[in-house]
A and B are shown apart, each in its own frame.
Chain A
């Protein structure tokens, strides 16, 4: 390659992000270092922060705030009555709202827990014991009342597919501590994968290296960790060396394809995972007490509990971002919420409480940010004709979420909803504010974390989010 094309190649690779750099940094950083840098190498955060890792617990389908953490006595008063909503804009599921609707009181009793006196319903007896380590925000609002769109908004900041997810952005900003494990691991529930599957944890326009890696909790966490043929250690090393060599030579001649670099990185990671993963994700080495904390040996809690335990092992080893999912639409109790929410709460309550306590006793809670949320909240009322098996419908006007650890302010509640829990009224936040807060707690400034794409700087929070200050220690 001649001098000129070398330079062009070089600039090009910086621009398309093969070096994993945001344009802002591109202007100030030594280009040579950028081009040779490993996109997953740990990077200095924008500001000092406690959280080194994040575990994002995704409650797909949408949890009813008034049945879990946001008690509404008024619902008892108005139970089974028709309220006049004519002055309200109910846009989430207009068709459902067109029919007569009845208010539904919560089928569960609430009590106050902890020193902070937090309200928790009977659905979460184990989490109730952890409230002094948790931070509730009751006023998260969304933009779209459909599951796929709302899930995209929660994960990527936009209701449409194609943008990088939070986990990818965090990897882009901070790299990852352990180069032998994926920086962003996704632990879905195989009973029902989220809508649009891997697009929910994709890297969008960021380099492909930041995409989430799915792991399973039964059998080997990842298939084909060991060679099926007769290849020995030296064979594998020689193969890898030659592959690396050929692929790099090819990349030099074809720098217009940023995916080539992503694929080279994927092989490097795969190679390192072969030695690291079997040791890390070893549930057998956990003692009886720990297994009990997560509910590993109980059929109901096994799936979520095992994945919570895997999440702890991963962050312990330096994985930057772990995201767990309940089955797709699991919390979506349009009908028979009594049964639906009870089942879902039972599957996650003990494991999450176990995760918080386990991280705490290992002094990892400070450096691990736990985020718990769904794609939207639920309504205080339901269509009248479904009274015998009443449920609650989608509600983007208020949702309760919580943080734990990682520099969030423990034992506080932020924001209030109206008398019915339908709409956030005080200290109202959007998804992008949650994103800004997560980034902030992890040492990233949401306005500075950007990637040059299609002629402009793109951000997770687009024009910027508002940090939920009251939730930050």
Chain B
């Protein structure tokens, strides 16, 4: 019953905040009562038996009955007393409350749901920690509008509130929306025409299928997952050393999305790919087991070298793994529980350490792992061989050069015996004031040495090694460090000894998890955790993932704190819909693509962003919790960059493999000591952003300013800020300068010499539409006093910066 009560209450509320009624009390009623009434009405001596400390106290009331009736201020004793309608006027002996306060109090009470619908935090907990059960699909009045059950849930709620859904988006808006959503790139002119001119009733569904089968889909959706798992290819901290084969985890994620790897397998591989017999993928006749690569998930956090040997760093690593695992897969935030019981959340400190104990037998390891067929095994081997040859040549060149230089130095030394330090070639070369070598010689040596160093770095990236984990290396038997609860998270403050176990709030008990020995040197601990998480019986796993998918299609999740389903998290606007999707997800064998299909083919997704009743909706549902229209979405930093490259014709579509190193300012590059930064060749630099090398201490300017994930912690939802530096970067930055020029050249090539046709082509490439008459006229003014190339370069910069370019309707 409790469960139904919660669903009913949320069904009406659909607004943000902790249990909405609690929030009303906390924000609006509580402070007034605390300031004016709590003096007498609190504690064991409360006057008339009425305490005003919290909502349930008010509802219980005092000897005269409940103090408030939610939804009906005029019927509420509290209001009657402070207004003086009942004697004595409250507060007794004090000044009457000012009118505005009384009005605020009454308004707050009116805003609450009727009593039987008040959802408490307890109801929410009961719901969220019970496995989802497929709810009954409602039958809205305008049933004709519904394409699939998603629409039924959404429309039923809209009708309840007296709203109609928005009209469908224009074909062009829908086309841009679905392309950016699924592949993160705009359609080409031909692709656009194919859809816009196509009149078959299922043209849209066909398009969705086509894009889901497109390789670029995985490149787009991997980014969302990489944000969540704080993916980076360097360690962070002061040295920020390279993780030369971390890219293999990135490519693993891209493949997982492209191959529609069942989400339960995806989880199991990342947590226990070495401990489980998982269904291997068969590719090109080869069986591929990607588990060892998938384990990279556990390695992605920031890290300082030698942590295996330093107890504190190891503890930090264990904490980080336990925390990120809980956040990414279970949508629970447990960072606080490391030090103390989490006040509002379902993970007490002991449970945090019980979770952490699943990793107690894990150690970091760079495991030998031959390149897979799908990683281009042959090409990898060839590249490595080529690099080895180049390395040999470079070393030989360096050796020869140094021999020559040494000879020169020795000759010099004979002349000038007083300088013993002149023995050291490197030191003499580094000393700019030493006249032995000319500037040219110095530069030649520097370049030759750097060339060798650069190849060394590059070779490491092609080694058949996985950035992975392993079980503790036993001499004879496995000895797993015991796990203690640590008071305040302090390593020295060892408390109770704990065994691996799942959160009590979810399982209902504190029993240790059943762990089966998984084979030689395999404790089976991570496998036990993986199996428990990747199970239909887990109340959170499926809900959390479908909510994440929803968020990336609709601009916001049904629950808007996608990694916090705990008590502080946002209450989902459509809990029944969330449950329905979660059960579908399991039923469809955890297929992420099936979820895309469901969501994208709903009419809810196809709504326009505008609504005929915009004003009323803005007042009552400004955050669009009811989904009465499509949310505006600004394309993310990576999509923005890829789009500019695509339409200027520069985009290098090469997939997979080691990342590309973008150009940085010289002073930045020189700032790196241990892990030097050598920009890739120009063509490689034009690859999609997902293939940019992810260094924790260095981002592309466009990524930094347009809210890309910061790589140091799990990021479940990027912020969308609007600040002047974004405008500066997009107007003045290197990317815009170069690509505007290329865009102009491409336009001239495609459109010929006529300015009107050129402008038309520029608009079509950038915005998928022809310019309006006034727009064309205005663009023509750019041609005054400029060559067509110049004019179109200016126009390109303008187009790249348009609101229409960066926002999806």
Contacts and interface: CB of A to CB of B under 8 A. Distances in A.
B614 A256 contact: yes
Contacts, number: 200
A199 B723 CA distance: 13
B782 A242 contact: yes
Contacts of A93: 339-340, 488
Given A96-B488, A269-B724, A385-B492, A249 B774 contact: yes
Interface string B725-747: 11111011110111011000000
B15 interface: yes
A445 interface: no
Given A198-B719, A266-B722, 7 more contacts: A99-B488, A208-B722, A211-B722, A223-B701, A245-B778, A263-B806, A334-B488
A8 B803 contact: no
Interface stretch (A9-17, A125-133, A297-305): A9-17
Contacts of B106: none
Interface of A: 8, 11-12, 15-16, 93-96, 98-99, 146, 160, 182, 197-199, 202, 205, 208-209, 211, 213-214, 222-231, 235-236, 238-239, 242-243, 245-247, 249-251, 254-257, 259-260, 262-264, 266-267, 269-271, 273-274, 334, 383, 385-386, 453-456, 462-463
Contacts of B336: 146
Given A227-B732, A266-B726, A260 B493 contact: no
A413 to B, nearest CB: 25
Nearest to A99: B487
B349 A95 contact: yes
A255 B615 CA distance: 11
Contacts of A260: 803, 807
Given A8-B614, A242-B779, A270 B728 contact: yes
B541 to A, nearest CB: 25
A277 B721 CA distance: 21
Contacts of A202: 719, 721
Contact of B731 (A15, A198, A270): A270
Contacts of A214: 723, 725
B710 A197 contact: yes
A242 B792 CA distance: 13
Contacts of B104: 463
A228 B730 CA distance: 11
B609 interface: yes
A208 B723 CA distance: 8
Given A226-B732, A250-B802, A257-B632, A96 B615 contact: no
Contacts of B797: 231, 239
A254 B488 contact: no
A95 B727 contact: no
A228 B722 contact: no
Interface residues of B, number: 75
Interface of B: 15-16, 27-28, 31-32, 104, 107, 111, 336, 339-341, 349, 487-488, 490, 492-493, 568, 609-611, 614-615, 618-620, 622-623, 629, 632, 634, 701, 705, 707, 710, 719-729, 731-734, 736-738, 740-741, 774-775, 778-779, 781-782, 793-795, 797-798, 801-804, 806-807, 809
A95 B488 contact: yes
Nearest to B809: A254
Nearest to B631: A257
**In terms of DSSP, what is the predominant structure of the interface of chain B?**
helix
Nearest to B727: A270
Contacts of B779: 242
Given A228-B737, A454-B622, A455-B620, A274 B634 contact: no
Given A93-B339, A224-B732, A257-B609, A239 B622 contact: no
Contact of B794 (A96, A209, A239): A239
Given A242-B782, A260-B803, A385-B492, A273 B728 contact: yes
B723 A266 contact: yes
23 contacts: A16-B622, A93-B339, A94-B340, A94-B341, A197-B719, A202-B721, A211-B723, A214-B725, A222-B728, A223-B733, A224-B725, A228-B732, A231-B797, A235-B794, A238-B781, A239-B731, A249-B774, A256-B614, A259-B632, A260-B807, A264-B803, A454-B15, A463-B104
A269 B738 CA distance: 24
A385 B723 contact: no
Nearest to A11: B615
A205 B16 CA distance: 13
- B27, B104, B724, B802, most chain A CB atoms within 10 A: B724
A94 to B, nearest CB: 6
B611 A256 contact: yes
Given A12-B614, A259-B722, A463-B31, A242 B728 contact: no
A462 B195 CA distance: 51
Given A11-B615, A226-B732, A259 B634 contact: yes
